[in-house]
Amino acid sequence: MVDRPQERPGQGGAAGLQSRTRGPERDAGLAPPDVPNTGAHLRQSFYAEHFGFHDHPFTLMPDPSMILWSRAYRRAFSVLEYGVISGSPITLLTGGIGCGKTTLLRELLTRLDETVTVALVSNAQGGRGELLQWVLNALGLGFDPAAGYVALFQTLRDFLVAEYAAGRRTLLIFDEAQNLSIESLEELRMLTNVNYGKDVVVQLVLTGQPELRDLVRSPRLEQLAQRIAVSYDLTPLDAPTTADFIRHRLTAAGGTGAEFDEGALAMIHRVSKGVPRLINQFCDISLLYAWTADQRQVGETLLAQVLEDNIFFAAQGLKEAAKELGASPDASDTSPSERNPA
């Protein structure tokens, strides 16, 4: 697959139009918010002026504008976008907790045009028929909870066909799909039977933690696996990409990119194990500490203080990492930053 350009995708042209989002996905952090995130403004005000930031560099909320388009992220996004544009019945995106799946999904939404109706189904669970209720609810469709499976399926099918007749296809995104049972995943496969020939009426995007890939490979889900046209597995960042990730977010927020020295960058990778969400948390707290100490650059000593104070909650179970603070980065401990599409 050809690597995408370094520039941020989704700027200008028809591909940058906002898709039709329905149901509760707006409340799930996937659809762009309608109001400013005042909480982020309050947080950044603590150290923003001290470092010259015009934005919060390490927000924990998914922010596509802050994506570092590393090779792995470009490939992962290309797989997502290609799956939707090519009419893939099912696209699969997996990755560890905090590796950036939701951020990429939000970026995908900014790339879809008005011909795609999108609904997010998050943390769905239950037996036969209940999954259909989750889907209908995500699409904002009313239904009788006491109705049987056939009636619910007909309601959904009628909606999908009506959308297709109006020139729109429906994209159902199932987040945290590793929580679905084998029976529910097979039920999802049945939804793609609504498609007929070259007529793409409905498409599925399944996202979840790595165990989702193992679940899909079950012999009982062979038919589902055969309908997954493209997939990608996001892994934690390696040490060089972690450093690039931090510098990128600093400069994007108006900083110099040198607010963390080289030793600090290496330590952040060791403690966070290259998980983007943990990198953001550690960096955010460290900048706060630097501001209170009137320091313009974060070094290993300050990071050690953050860990010793147990304010970085995610690292409280990583006591061994704190004991190794003075050690040089261990190349064998770095995580792969890329994995080829499966």
119, 281, 311 from 314: Cα distances, Å: 31, 8, 9
Rounded to two decimals, the pTM is 0.78
In 161-173, which positions are buried (b, 16+ CB within 10 angstroms) versus exposed (e)? bebbeeebbbbbb
DSSP calls for 98-149: TSSHHHHHHHHHHH--TTEEEEEEES---STTHHHHHHHHHTT----TT--H
What pLDDT, in 10s, does the model give residues 124-160? Answer: 777 667 889 999 999 999 888 888 889 999 999 999 9
**In sequence order, what E strands does the chain have?**
20-22, 90-95, 116-122, 169-175, 202-208, 228-234
Give the pLDDT confidence score for residue 289 in this predicted structure: 94
Count the neighbouring beta carbons within 10 Å of the beta carbon of residue 262.
11
Burial class (CB in 10 A: 0-12, 13-18, 19+), 4: middle
Q: For 315, which DSSP code?
A: G
Give the C-alpha separation, 104 to 109, whole Å: 9
Taking the C-alpha atoms of residue 126 and residue 183, their distance in angstroms, rounded to an integer, is: 9
Q: CATH: 3.40.50.300, 3.10.20.30, 3.30.565.10, 1.10.3720.10. Which one for 1-235?
A: 3.40.50.300
For 2-36, what is each residue's pLDDT tens digit? 333 334 433 333 333 335 556 544 444 454 444 44
Reported as a single tens digit per residue, the pLDDT across 278-298 is 999 999 999 999 999 999 999
The pLDDT-based confidence of 317 (bands split at 50, 70, 90) is low
In angstroms, what CA-CA distances link 165 with 84, 90, 135, 169?
A: 19, 21, 20, 9
At 229-239, the pLDDT tens digits run 999 999 999 99
What residue spans define the domains of the chain? 1-235, 238-336
